[in-house]
Amino acid sequence: MRLDKFLANAGVGTRSEVKNLIKLGVVLVNQEVILDSGLDVNPERDEVLVDEAPVSYQEYVYLMLNKPKGYVSAREDRKDPTAFSLIQGYEHRDLHLVGRLDKDTTGLLIFTDNGQLTHHLTSPKHDVGKTYHVTLDQPLDKKLIDIFKAGFSLGEKEMVKAASLNLLTSPHQVSLTIYEGKFHQVKRMFSKFGYQVVGLHRHAVGDVTLGNLKEGEFRELTHNEVAKLKSL
Ligand code: URA
């Protein structure tokens, strides 16, 4: 990888800022001053210092956000605040959203610049479970548990796969795990049977859960969590 790209990805500065630093002679690779921005560096093997401080490199970044209500799952929006605006300090990374949540849905949103993992987690070919706490406008009829377990058609030619539905502490509160990410899927699944979803919160993707991350806060995923997502 080019030295300027390596430094920019590591958050040292923008591509043009790091080129200037290199020209100033403050960048050392394996104890040698390097003036060539295009030098090929191996992030695993080479030691890179800027102003004598070692630069540690992460090939990919993985973040989770507890999205509050009212934020849209987008980078920019003319009308509403965006989920991206809550992520600070990663402007130098080309982060993407792994799936989306509606503006009025709260909970777990994952961001990464690992395109392969994004594709893996969002592809309909892989059965990645997404678990929601759902608040309904009326008590759940338990018959729905078996209907959801079998899968059903949402509309003409649109089937939803088997989903796991469980009652929580009150008959209005359920937990639902779905294995696809169709547009407004949870709301449409309940609407088909005459229910309105009045609260929707995603708390897990696979085994990765929000834990006690507060609303509006974000953090990097642990190695263990990244490994879990990759194994889905
Ligand atoms: N299903 C929905 O209807 N909305 C979401 O935000 C996520 C899943």
3-state secondary structure 35-74: CCCCCECCCCCCCEEECCEECCCCCCCEEEEEECCCCECC
Q: What is the pLDDT of residues 65-103, one digit of tens each?
A: 999 999 999 999 999 999 999 999 998 889 999 999 999
| 3-class DSSP state of 82 | strand
The CATH 3.30.2350.10 portion of the chain extends over 62-231
Measure 92 CA to ligand 1 centroid, in angstroms: 30
Residue 155 has pLDDT above 90, yes or no: no
pLDDT of residue 56: 85
Ligand 1 pocket test: pick from 185, 201, 205 the residue with the most ligand atoms within 8 Å of its Cβ.
185
Q: How far is the CA of 88 from the centre of ligand 1 (A)?
A: 25
Q: Determine whether 46 is an active site residue.
A: no
pLDDT at 58: 84
The candidate with the shortest Cα–Cα distance to 177, out of 141, 136, 215, 205, is 205
Give the pLDDT of residue 20: 96
Say if residue 10's pLDDT is above 90: no
CATH 3.10.290.10 placement within the chain: 3-54
Report whether 27 contacts 49 (CB < 8 A).
yes
* Domain 3-54 bears CATH identifier 3.40.50.11260: no
For 172: left if phi > 0, alpha if psi spans -120 to 50, otherwise beta; the answer is alpha
List, in order, residues 6 or more apart from 166 with CB less than 8 Å away. Answer: 145, 174, 175, 176
Nearest to 7 by CA among 61, 36, 50: 50
Does the pLDDT of residue 125 top 90, yes or no?
A: no
Ligand 1 pocket, CB under 6 A:
101-102, 105, 184-187, 200
By the 10 Å C-beta count (0-12 exposed, 13-18 middle, 19+ buried), 17 is classed as middle
Atom from ligand 1 closest to the CA of residue 187: 3
pTM of the predicted protein model: 0.87
62-231: CATH class: alpha beta
